[in-house]
Amino acid sequence: MALPTLKDLPDQRGHFGRFGGQFVPETLMAALEELEHEYRLIRDDAAFHEELAYLLRQYVGRPTPLYEAASLAEAYGGKQRVFLKREDLCHTGAHKINNTLGQALLARRLGKKRVIAETGAGQHGVATATAAALLKLECEVFMGEEDIVRQELNVFRMRLLGATVTPVRSGSRTLKDATNEAIREWMGTVGDTHYIIGSCIGPHPFPMMVRDFMSVIGREARRQCLEQVGRLPDALLACVGGGSNSLGLFAPFYDDREVRFFGVEAEGEGFLSGKHACSITSRQVGVFHGAKIFVLQNPDGQITPAHSISAGLDYPGVGPEHCFYAETGRAAYLSVTDEEALAATRMLCHREGILPALESAHAVAALPKVLPLLPEGGVVLISLSGRGDKDVYTLRKYLEPQT
């Protein structure tokens, strides 16, 4: 099938092929229409982009380096070149700040005085709290009770930045349930509150908007690869939860059909165990959090819990653009278990002196599956979406006897 160009994704109704759309209560439609209208205006607003570019440069620390991990490549045979896009070096320690600054600036333009967010690994919550403090906005972050335990350092950081962290005790007490509560809160407070969704999920225009703000990652990587290698990469590799870091890397290369995309889902304890977060691999279509997407669900259509050692990948769905990429073949999707992600964490620490977030470690762990598909001398770029400080307690639990 002939693929549309990036400028045609999504269509005017917010669809990526048969995925996406707006499946929300009537009470939210006016807010979504206002948000889409204002966002389309700022896309062509030079003053808005100048302010955002200034903050990304002077406050976030962009551009982030494109680092050649030669020792890591050597560990896998040394026949291909491996580069890491170092989003872990952003202010706050992950890629999330790219999107939260853009949405916080948009919230201010909309006249909103308050922002809310959901978070799993805590990085989006920290980034939202950071942007809110910078722009003098009130901030509340919803976080599953289980994730609060797993990510207590980030919870403290959010509170230190002035945000209210609201524990979510329903359901699986993880990212899915935090998103549910954030949506409920937004329904009752749309007049003065903007919901800063942290990934390429939710009803239109959120998947498009988050992708666009995150695309600074791929634009930089494209330019840096041309400068350092002299050509475009053969492949891009990134972990996939909702999709923000991966689509931020992929989108600027979308129309370069010779560049292959590899997304990596969290296989948890193994696909057959049922304890995983492989929504794309499962290929079950449903409506979840305002959009038609691939979701984990039972035969009755009820959402089933996801599992991953990584709190940021512990989500039972995936953004509609990834669903479209999977169905059309524009991207290939692999999966990595908890055990493989932990081994990749140790490998990157020992080989390169870099402690990755457990989310990012999933992408690194897929290298042995991707490199054999590339020619000798081939080039792969990995989105190193965040640093692993937040995961030290989890890592200590699983890796300390082996380090």
Q: What residues have CB less than 8 Å from 232, skipping those under 6 apart?
A: 222, 225, 226, 253, 256, 258, 259
Tell me the whole-structure pTM to 2 decimals. 0.96
* Interval 238-270: pLDDT, tens: 999 999 999 999 999 999 999 999 999 999 999
Using DSSP bridges, classify how beta strands 81-86 and 379-384 pair: parallel, antiparallel or unpaired: parallel
Domains and CATH numbers, the chain: 17-55+96-210 (3.40.50.1100), 61-93+215-402 (3.40.50.1100)
Q: In sequence order, what are the residues at sequence separation of 6 or more whose Cβ sits closer than 8 angstroms to the Cβ of residue 152?
A: 393
| pLDDT single digits (tens) 266-287 | 999 999 999 999 999 999 999 9
pLDDT confidence of residue 403: 56
* CA distance linking residue 74 with residue 69, whole number of Å: 9
**Whether the predicted pLDDT of 84 surpasses 70:** yes
Mean pLDDT score across all residues of the chain: 96
Q: Are 308 and 314 in contact (CB under 8 A)?
A: yes
Distance CA 142, CA 121 (A): 12
Hey, which residues are catalytic here?
Answer: 96, 118, 385
Which pLDDT value is given to residue 401?
65
How many Å apart are CA 308 and CA 288, to the nearest integer?
19
d(CA 48, CA 45) in angstroms, rounded, equals: 5
Dihedral angle, C-alpha 376, 377, 383, 386, nearest 10 °: 100
pLDDT at residue 170 tops 90: no
Task: Look at strands 66-68 and 81-86 and give their pairing.
Answer: antiparallel
pLDDT in tens, 178-200: 999 999 999 999 999 999 999 99
Are 239 and 250 in contact by the 8 Å Cβ rule? The answer is no
Which run of H or of E encompasses 19?
A: strand 19-20
